[in-house]
C-alpha cells in the first residue's frame, strides 16, 4: 500500500527569512495523524534567505540529517566541528547526550534550500558525533545510492538506528525497481522534480508511507531527486518533538 501525502498538505512555517514545509508535526504545526512514521520523525523542507540562519540551539537524543539541494549551509557545533555543506553533501549529526549547533546561509543574496531530517535513535544518552560525505551525481544517476545506514555499508554515514536512506536522480527513460525487504516499511520523499512510482505520480514535495509492498518501480522522472527510507515495521505515535 502506497499512502501518498501531497506537498500542499504539509504544514507551513513562514517567518519571512525562513519558509519551511513540514511533512510531519513540527514547531507550531500539529497534526495528530502526522507524528512521524516508524523511526522517521521530521522532514523539513527549508528555504533560508541570504545572510540568515538558525542561531546556536541545543538538541539531544536525535539523529539529525541535513541534505542540501541548492546553495550552501554553514554548520558549527559544540563538538568543535565547522563545515559548509553544498549540493551533493550529506551531513549526519548524532545529538546523543547533548550538542549545540548553528546553521547559517553566509551568501548575501542567494538562498539555500535544504532538507532537515530527524530520526529517533535506538539508544539515548550516547556520545554525540558528526559525519559528512559528498556523493557525486553520477553515483545517484538513474539509481539509488545508499547514503546512510546502521553499519556504514558502501561508504555511507553510520546512523544509530535500524534505518537506511537512499538518494536517486531520475530523468527521461531512467528507471529502477527496488525490492523491499520482507516485513519492512518504506517512505518516499520527492525533493524536486516529478516521478512515477508503481503507477502513482509524485511531484516536488510529495511523499508516501509504504507498507506491504514487495517492490517499488521508479520511472518517468522529470529532473527528479528522490529520497527513499527503509524503516522498521512499527507504528509509533511520537507525541512530542
Residue 101 annotated in ligand binding: yes
What distance in Å separates the CA atoms of residue 74 and residue 124, rounded to the nearest whole number?
Answer: 27
Closest of 174, 180, 96 to residue 137, by C-alpha: 174
Per-residue pLDDT tens digits for 145-165: 999 999 999 999 999 999 999
Residue 113 annotated in ligand binding: no
Q: How far is CA 211 from CA 40, 41, 83, 197, in A?
A: 14, 17, 37, 14
Residue 75 annotated in ligand binding: no
Q: Is the pLDDT of residue 212 over 90?
A: yes
pTM: 0.96
Per-residue pLDDT tens digits for 69-78: 999 999 998 9
Question: What are the φ/ψ torsions at residue 69 (nearest 5 degrees)?
Answer: -100, -40
Residue 139 annotated in ligand binding: no
What is the mean predicted confidence (pLDDT) over 126-137? 96
Per-residue pLDDT tens digits for 170-205: 999 999 999 998 899 999 999 999 999 999 999 999
Average per-residue pLDDT for the chain? 94
Query: Which of left, alpha, beta for 142 (phi over 0: left; psi -120 to 50: alpha)?
Result: left
pLDDT grade for 55, boundaries at 50, 70 and 90: confident
Q: What domains appear along the chain, each with residue ranges and CATH number?
A: 2-231 (2.60.120.10)
Q: How far is CA 119 from CA 66, 146, 149, 169, 220, in A?
A: 12, 16, 12, 23, 30
Amino acid at each position: 500500500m502506497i499512502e501518498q501525502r501531497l506537498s500542499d498538505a504539509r504544514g507551513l512555517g513562514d517567518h519571512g527569512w525562513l519558509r519551511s514545509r513540514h511533512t510531519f508535526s513540527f514547531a507550531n504545526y500539529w497534526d495528530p495523524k502526522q507524528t512521524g512514521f516508524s523511526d522517521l520523525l521530521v522532514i523539513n523542507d527549508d528555504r533560508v534567505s541570504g545572510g540568515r540562519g538558525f542561531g546556536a540551539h541545543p538538541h539531544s537524543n536525535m539523529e539529525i540529517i541535513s541534505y542540501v539541494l541548492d546553495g550552501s549551509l554553514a554548520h558549527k557545533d559544540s563538538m568543535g566541528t565547522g563545515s559548509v555543506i553544498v549540493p551533493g553533501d550529506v551531513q549526519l549529526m548524532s545529538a546523543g547526550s547533548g550538542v549545540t549547533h548553528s546553521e547559517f546561509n553566509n551568501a548575501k543574496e542567494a538562498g539555500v534550500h535544504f532538507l532537515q531530517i530527524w530520526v529517533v535513535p535506538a539508544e539515548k544518552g550516547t556520545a554525540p558525533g558528526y559525519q559528512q560525505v559528498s556523493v557525486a551525481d553520477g553515483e545517484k544517476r538513474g539509481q539509488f545510492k545508499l547514503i546512510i545506514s546502521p553499519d556504514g555499508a558502501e561508504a555511507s554515514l553510520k546512523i544509530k538506528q535500524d534505518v537506511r536512506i537512499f538518494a536517486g536522480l531520475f530523468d527521461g527513460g531512467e528507471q529502477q525497481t527496488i525490492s523491499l525487504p520482507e516485513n519492512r516499511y518504506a517512505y518516499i520523499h520527492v525533493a524536486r522534480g516529478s516521478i512515477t512510482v508503481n503507477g502513482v505520480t509524485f511531484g516536488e514535495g510529495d511523499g508516501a508511507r509504504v507498507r506491504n509492498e514487495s517492490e517499488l518501480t521508479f520511472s518517468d522522472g522529470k529532473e527528479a531527486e528522490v529520497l527513499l527510507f527503509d524503516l522498521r515495521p512499527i507504528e509509533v505515535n511520537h507525541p512530542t518533538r
